[in-house]
Structure 1
Amino acid sequence: MEWMLLPLRRYARFSGRARPKEYWMFVLFLLLGFFILSLVETMLGLTTTDRWFQRGPWWASAGYSTRGGPLTGLFALAMLIPQLAVSVRRLHDTDRTGWWLLIVVFPFIGSIVLLIFLIMSGTRGANRFGPDPVEVGEPELR
């Protein structure tokens, strides 16, 4: 649980490096948070659901889409800066600048390239962004 909340303690720290464990545990925290909030909003009736049906001459399709409510929006807004900060630090660990986050403007390929960068292991030893967090040791989680 400490690893999930570590990026919140380092709220807007864009310098330094983040281990893969710190990044992916925070991603898990975000997924769990959005899932729980979507359940709460659905039970409270705060979500918007659109049902649709389309019929063509040779086909028909139906489905629905649900948009998040105010709790999900507030959570996403509150987690924006920590998510950006931990992503930049994770890219620093792979010896890349944080500007690589902008690669997602290329719709499909950019997201895949960024995902590969975030999955890669960090450079061993110190790099231009600071000392290796593995060599320095586990951060204080108290």
Structure 2
Amino acid sequence: MNWYLKVLKQYADFNGRARRQEYWMFYLFNFIFSFLIGIIDGALGMEELGIGTVYSLGVLIPTIAAGVRRMHDLGKSGWYILIPIYNFILLCTDGEYGPNQYGPDPKNPYNEIDDIGVSEA
């Protein structure tokens, strides 16, 4: 749930990087909430333009922003989310180790030792 809230707090932040865990946990909770809201809409008879539509429009920008940040974690431009199959492959791929042009590594943001070529033994 923390990952879902983290993405919502970064509502329209298209800068930086997002780990796989952040992206997929947001996706999972978003799916669960959409499913539950769909059930509520169905029970109330509001399938056409109900709570689900409002919710979907509300999370549209954070969903796109999380996808763009996920692409940044792979060292790719955010525009790669527009390529259907390649996009899915990239979303499942581990991000670049260490900092890249989009920011520090979200898994290990304090790896200055690794940046200069010294590794822990």
Taking structure 2 as the reference length, what is the TM-score of the superposition?
A: 0.86
Higher strand share: 1
Deviation by residue 1:72-130 (Cα, 9 ceiling, x = unmatched): 11111000110011100000000000011222xxxxxxx22110011100000111111
Q: Give secondary structure in 2 for the equivalent of 1:76.
A: helix
Q: Which residue is 1:88 aligned to? A: 68
Structure 1 segments, 4+ long, off by >6 Å, are none
1:41 and 1:88 map into 2 onto residues whose CA distance is: 30
Q: Which residue is 2:12 aligned to? A: 12
Q: Give secondary structure in 2 for the equivalent of 1:14.
A: coil
Structure 1 residue 3: deviation in Å? 1.3
Compare CA radii of gyration and give the structure with the larger one: 1
Structure 1 residue 47: deviation in Å? 1.8
User: Which runs of no fewer than 5 residues in structure 2 stay unpaired?
Assistant: 111-121
Structure 1 residue 5: deviation in Å? 1.3
Is residue 122 from structure 1 mapped to residue 86 from structure 2 by the alignment?
A: no
Q: Give secondary structure in 2 for the equivalent of 1:127.
A: coil
Number of aligned residue pairs: give it.
110
Deviation by residue 1:33-67 (Cα, 9 ceiling, x = unmatched): 1100111011111125xxxxxxxxxxxxxxxxxxx
Q: Which residue is 1:113 aligned to? A: 86
Structure 1 residue 70: deviation in Å? 1.9
The sequence identity of aligned pairs, in percent, is 41
